[in-house]
Amino acid sequence: MNMDFLPMTQNDLEDRGWSELDFVMVTGDAYVDHPSFGAAIITRILERYGYKVGIIAQPDWKDIESFKALGKPKIAFLVNSGNIDSMVNHYTSFKKRRKEDVYSPGGEPDKRPDRAVIVYSNKIREAYKDTVIIVGGIEASLRRLGHYDYWDNKVRRSILLDSSADLLVYGMGEKAILEIAEALSNGIPVEELTYIRGTVYKTKDKERAFDFLELPDFEQITSDKKEYAKSFKIQFENTDAITGKTLVERYGTVYVVQTQPMEPLNQIEMDDIYDMEYMRNYHPSYKNKGGIPAFDEIQFSITNSRGCFGGCSFCALTFHQGRVIQARSKASIMKEGQAFVGSPSFKGYIHDVGGPTANFRKRACIKQEKYGVCKDKQCLFPEKCNQLIV
Ligand code: SF4
């Protein structure tokens, strides 16, 4: 691997002798090539499989030329809002505008639009009418079906419809993006990608979905809270890769179809992702702009696991990473920690070794490996399940 930051400009492309990219990632965060950033993982994994990938970080969404900076990619644009939802990034829970954005150079606010996935995707569509657009990351993932939006205080449509994207990847997208890349590079039209787990597509023909559960229509969930609750319950019960079914939600004559959840990564796959080569820094173009504040916190932090079986009522993590714990090996974690020693800014302590919530490292029970997590029972509430491995 040519170890450098991925191209961000035409000059970078020329330096590599490339005239065209396979994928262009458009992201709402500054470009930080570190595995704490989803955009870094997805771009590096595509690069590893031989695809040419470039990054447009925090484009000026009022200027269409910003989206043309790397030309039209051969395969697709990939769009995300950054590491967090753009509305959470911009507003406090009291709906006050935040003064700082730690994912932007110097912490400067307003470097991305509200509802970044929708804005970026529509701008790309304006720039290149017939290009393929795939949205992913936390903003797209948690808004994949009809959902309550706190900021608007109303139920909004699937972001797939509002963004004009062709396909949505939900959850952690490494496996899905590789399957998509392989299919598209082999000439399969994006409309035919109705079979890849961990994705959402739109269709006028419901019969394209197979063995599915029908959610209440969008119209019903916007007018009846009980229907909304029913829809949410079905979605919650279908977040497991073994038991989860394809879900279909109707919007008039269009159907939004969520395929079954992607299988969790095993330990070898987890190690593989975090052992990949990253620059482990922000792009040098930010150096004179005050760096990226978020990087200070993650620079010497290590991701240990994904998923959570805690089931806290306020948390949406299981809708993104699922209830099954996926952990790295101790050897992989140690290797990452040992590499810190070579960094001049390392002062001898690792900020954090952890997962998204509690420090779970093992699956909750043996049963879920074969039969999936329980649909009608929580692992820790109202009391600890007797199958729980402690
Ligand atoms: S058997 Fe118990 S520990 Fe296992 S998934 Fe079900 S509730 Fe969780």
Closest ligand 1 atom, CA of 374?
A: 6
Which ligand 1 atom is nearest residue 385's CA? 2
Assigned domain for 285 exists:
no
Q: For residue 362, what pLDDT is reported?
A: 87
Asked if 102 contacts 293 with a C-beta cutoff of 8 angstroms, the reply is yes
Sequence-distant (≥ 6) Cβ neighbours of residue 331 within 8 angstroms: 271
Last residue of a domain, one of 207, 239, 258: 258
Which CATH number goes with the domain that contains 324?
3.30.750
Q: What is the pLDDT of residues 43-92, one digit of tens each?
A: 999 999 999 999 999 999 999 999 999 999 999 999 999 999 999 999 99
**Ligand 1 pocket residue status of 379, Cβ below 6 Å:** yes
Residues 27 and 121 in one domain: yes
273 assigned to some structural domain: no
267 lies in a domain?
A: no
Does ligand 1 come within 6 angstroms of the Cβ of 367?
Answer: yes
pLDDT (tens digit per residue) in 124-165: 999 999 999 999 999 999 999 999 999 999 999 999 999 999
326 lies in the same domain as 216: no
**Measured in angstroms, how far is the CA atom of residue 380 from the centroid of ligand 1?**
8
What average pLDDT does range 317-346 have in this prediction? 94
Domain end call among 223, 258, 293: 258
In a domain, 307, yes or no: yes
In this structure, are 224 and 329 located in the same domain? Answer: no
| pLDDT (0 to 100) of residue 358 | 62
CB of 318 shorter than 6 A to ligand 1: no
Axis-axis angle for helices 174-185, 38-48 (nearest 10): 40
247 & 308 share domain:
no
Distance of CA 309 from the midpoint of ligand 1 (Å)? 9
Using a 6 Å cutoff on CB, does residue 373 contact ligand 1?
A: yes
What are residue 19's DSSP bridge partners?
A: none
Pairwise CA distance, residues 132 & 130, whole Å = 7
pLDDT at 8: 98
> What is the rounded average pLDDT of the residues 352-375?
88
Q: What is the pLDDT of residues 231-283, one digit of tens each?
A: 999 999 999 999 999 999 999 999 999 999 999 999 999 999 999 999 999 99
Predicted pLDDT at 311: 84
Give me the pLDDT at residue 2, please: 54
Residue nearest to atom 6 of ligand 1 (CA): 374
Nearest CA to ligand 1 atom 8: 379
Q: Which residues constitute the domain of residue 379?
A: 301-390
Q: What is the pLDDT of residue 356?
A: 78
Report d(CA 173, CA 24) in Å as an integer. 16
Of 280, 277, 212, whose CA–CA distance to 247 is shortest? 212
Reported as a single tens digit per residue, the pLDDT across 165-174 is 999 999 999 9
Is 84 inside a domain boundary? yes
Contact (CB, 8 A) for 241 and 324: yes
Ligand 1: distance of its center to the CA of 246 in Å?
22
Residue 60 lies in a domain: yes
Residue from 240, 243, 309 whose mutation best tests the ligand 1 pocket (most atoms within 8 A of CB): 309
Beta-carbon neighbour count of residue 35 at 10 Å?
19
48 domain-assigned? yes
- Which CATH number belongs to the domain containing residue 202 in this structure? 3.40.50.2300
Which of 223, 238, 258 is the endpoint of a domain? 258
Whether the pLDDT of residue 1 is over 50: the answer is no
The segment with the largest mean pLDDT, out of 114-123, 339-348, 371-380, is: 114-123
Q: Which pLDDT value is given to residue 360?
A: 85
